[in-house]
Amino acid sequence: MAYEVETENVKDYYANLLILQYRNKPKASATIKLGAGIYLADGLIFELNDILNLETQQGAQLDLIGQILGVNRQLAGFTVNTDYFTFEKTNAFGYSDVNQLSQGLWKQYRNSTASVYALQDYEYRSLLKFKAAYNIKVGSWGALDDLYYRFFGDELNMINNKNLTVTYEVSENVSVALQAAIYLGYIKPPMGIGYSIVNS
């Protein structure tokens, strides 16, 4: 494993830093390597580079990234326009919809009755990527249009009304990430411009 090779290289590096009179002493070298091994925690230190990788992390690690970006996975008062797998007939995928399985979620009691929606990992990941880019955006018309298109494509259309207002047209098939971004107030025009959000 790459971590094991790297760990051995680091241990050897520190053992070779011993002053000349101890460098050829096996016990001194072993003591230094043991200490270096403790600090390396069996390669755990090398995994720190990936701890904030949005592409690979899930669950609690995504929640940690969400805390840094200021986006909570649990959205109070947020209702989702999505289809579920259920035994019910309303707005659901039945078990016979074999080719549609990837488009539905399992409907749980909390989805039906609670006013809090917990974003799935893939929804939360998309929202976090957008929020990270949104945090460093340039507030010009072109930069915002590019940002929205890069993350939401044809789901969101930004229209300049040429009267210091903007209209955002949201498509019929909208992702949960975009719904959450709208709900959280991340879809806004440049400062001082009025806006409205409409369904197309």
In the chain, domain spans: 2-48, 74-118, 130-199
Mean residue pLDDT across the chain: 77
Candidate ranges 13-22, 42-51, 60-69, 188-197; pick with highest mean pLDDT? 60-69
Per-residue pLDDT at 160: 86
41 vs 11: CA distance, rounded Å: 12
Would you place residue 177 in the very low, low, confident or very high pLDDT band (cuts 50, 70, 90)? confident
Rounded average pLDDT over 129-135: 88
Task: Measure the CA–CA gap between 143 and 48, rounded to whole angstroms.
Answer: 32
Answer for the pair 176, 119: CB distance below 8 angstroms, yes or no: yes
Question: Which residues, in sequence order, are bridge partners of residue 170?
Answer: 156, 199
Separation CA 123–CA 75 (nearest Å): 12
Q: Who has greater pLDDT, 44 or 155?
A: 155
- Residue-wise pLDDT tens digits, 54-111: 888 888 888 888 898 888 888 877 766 555 555 555 555 555 544 544 445 555 544 5
Contact by Cβ (8 Å): 18, 28 = yes
Percentage above 70 pLDDT, the chain: 76
Q: Per the structure block, which two tokens stand in for 163?
A: 């009267």
Query: Does the pLDDT at position 181 exceed 80?
Result: yes
Q: Is residue 147 scored above 80 in pLDDT?
A: yes
